[in-house]
Amino acid sequence: MRSRTWLRRAGAIACAGAVLAGCGTDSSDGLSVAKSGGDASSASTVDPAALDTGSYPTSPAPEFGRATKDNILDVETQRLAEFVVVPFEVDPNLVTAKMPTMVIRSHENLNSVLSGNAADVAKTHGMLYGYVSTAATSTTAVTDPSRSLVQMVLRFENADDASAAAQEMHTGLTTVDTDGTGVETPETIGILPNTLVSTSEYSYSAGPEVSVNAFTAHNNYLLYTWAKAPADDKEWTAEAVARALDLQGPLIDQFPAQPTLAQNGGEPAELPMIDQDKILLYAIPEGDEQADSGNDMASYGPRGMAHRSINPPLTYRVLTEAGSDHNAVYKTNVYRASDDAGAQMIVEEFGNDLTSQGYVEAPSPQGLPDAVCLSKDTTDGTTDYCLVANGRYVGEAYGTDDKKDVDQKISAQYLILEQADQNAE
């Protein structure tokens, strides 16, 4: 399944985060966007009675209430995403999202990010949770040289544990084990005296490459950056690490983390609301709450959405400019702009982006001419994608080889948004 949010279930590509671009009514190259609301001349021509919504709900979900011990890690890791640097912020050419890009709910998740003893070290030092984001430069062939960056933030109970974990993970990468692993070369980056650095050089199909691992303890957080580039571009890896840390430190300092028992004087702090921004209740829910391993049933800001977008810079810019600070990711996705014009901008910008990638206009669902739908034939099947604006809100639905299902989802989504609070803050 392909969508603007790149990665959702089982490594498939999803479409949330930077919607279709190509929907401007004034552009001969773009798709026409029918507008909901506004004056009589732009009134919607939706026929609610004609909509086929299948078995999907057509009303908002009940409010979610507060997090529980069973789902607080999901809520916290999703909130953390907004305070983790997106790779394109380090280098504007890092625009192709890769795995691992996900919430870190357990030390076991670190096996997808780091080799060696990292997972065991995190467990020993009581890692609480984290978030990791990965991207690379765009290439046309596997053999093309490229740059890549992994940016991860892990939260620990205290600064001592974060510092000890950083040192032990670094040691694990730079110490030769009995199986021959752990052969990174310790190095230093002069402008980063508090960062533990190691490098590795190896041959690849694109030629010789160099990678750098960097661990930095920052209060009770461990900041990790991995950068890879062609061997003759080694200087870039050091510059990328320095830039990432320059951005990440101040950003993570802004994260309003849920207090631990120790931080709250030994008393349990009241758990946060699951849907703090009251937007998730407008998205169509998944039948399986763990369908995306904690990455969905979520509310993300522009940066959080950008991590998993197929065009991170565009997603971040458009959602920021539209004032879409709160965006729901579930079976469908919902964006809430600051005003109706912002919602229209989301549809237009996201649509133009996808049409530039080979998507073509597809029929709107019956009774819903306001919806903008696109499709593209891929090696994984035909990807179908629809957007619809309703006042300040934009609904987004997508799927593979099942246009009827996508039409039903976007139709149900439209009816839900008819009941959304257009004055929400």
21 or 177, which is more confident: 177
In this predicted structure, what is the pLDDT of residue 374? 98
CATH of 74-252, one of 2.60.40.10, 3.40.605.10, 3.40.1000.70, 3.30.2310.20: 3.40.1000.70
Percentage of residues of the chain with pLDDT beyond 70 = 88
User: Could you tell me the pTM of the whole model?
Assistant: 0.90
* pLDDT band of 33, cuts 50, 70, 90: very low
Q: For 102-139, what is each residue's pLDDT tens digit? A: 999 999 999 999 988 999 999 999 999 999 999 999 99
| Max CA pair span of the chain | 75
Rounded to the nearest integer, the mean pLDDT of the chain is 89
Percentage of residues of the chain with pLDDT beyond 90 = 79
Asked whether 165 and 127 are in contact (CB, 8 A), the reply is yes
Q: Does the pLDDT at position 264 exceed 80?
A: yes
| Mean pLDDT (whole number) for 191-213 | 89
* pLDDT band of 51, cuts 50, 70, 90: very high
| Mean pLDDT (whole number) for 198-206 | 85
Q: Tell me the domain boundaries of the chain.
A: 6-65+273-417, 74-252
Q: For 312-336, what is each residue's pLDDT tens digit? A: 999 999 999 999 999 999 999 999 9
In this predicted structure, what is the pLDDT of residue 292? 82
In this predicted structure, what is the pLDDT of residue 181? 56
| Mean pLDDT (whole number) for 156-175 | 96
Rounded CA separation 167/278 (Å): 41
Rounded CA separation 19/372 (Å): 11
Q: Does the pLDDT at position 10 exceed 60?
A: no
- The order of strands in the sheet holding 298-300 is 298-300, 326-329, 333-336, 393-400, 381-390, 372-378, 360-362
The residues facing 373 across adjacent strands are 362, 386
Q: Does the pLDDT at position 300 exceed 80?
A: yes
| Mean pLDDT (whole number) for 208-217 | 96
In this predicted structure, what is the pLDDT of residue 187? 85
